[in-house]
Amino acid sequence: MTDIAALKQEKQELIDKMLVMQKKFIDYEHEHGVSGKDYWASKEGLLANYRENYMKMANRVVDLAHQIVGSSRL
């Protein structure tokens, strides 16, 4: 596998994980509701570190996309 293929594979795996996270979040929100406090400061369950983990993955996806095409973030 080439470096580019490996980067594309990692990017797709992260996107797939993010989509699963989004679906779980939406389902949870529909069942329980989500307050701002839950979203920003939850220490347990689905929402614990949700925002931070999702942001890390999203940033990695952007970085991978730049690597794949040979550009960089400003």
Please check whether residue 62 lies inside any domain of the structure: yes
Helices 3-32 and 50-69 sit at what angle, rounded to 10 degrees? 150
Q: How many residues does the chain have?
A: 74
Q: Is residue 74 part of a domain?
A: no
**What domain range includes position 26?**
3-69
Joined together, the tokens standing for residue 41 give 């400061």
Considering its fold, how many domains does the chain have in total? 1
Hey, is 47 helix, strand or coil?
coil
Q: Which pTM does this prediction carry?
A: 0.87
Which amino acid is residue 8, in one-letter code? K
C-alpha distances in angstroms, 70 versus 3, 6, 10, 59? 12, 15, 16, 16
User: Is residue 14 included in any domain, yes or no?
Assistant: yes
**Tokens 């080439």 label which residue?**
2
Tens of pLDDT, residues 30-54: 999 999 998 898 999 999 999 999 9
pLDDT at 59 over 80: yes
In-domain check, residue 29: yes
C-beta of residue 50 within 8 angstroms of C-beta of residue 21: yes
> Does residue 26 fall inside a structural domain?
yes
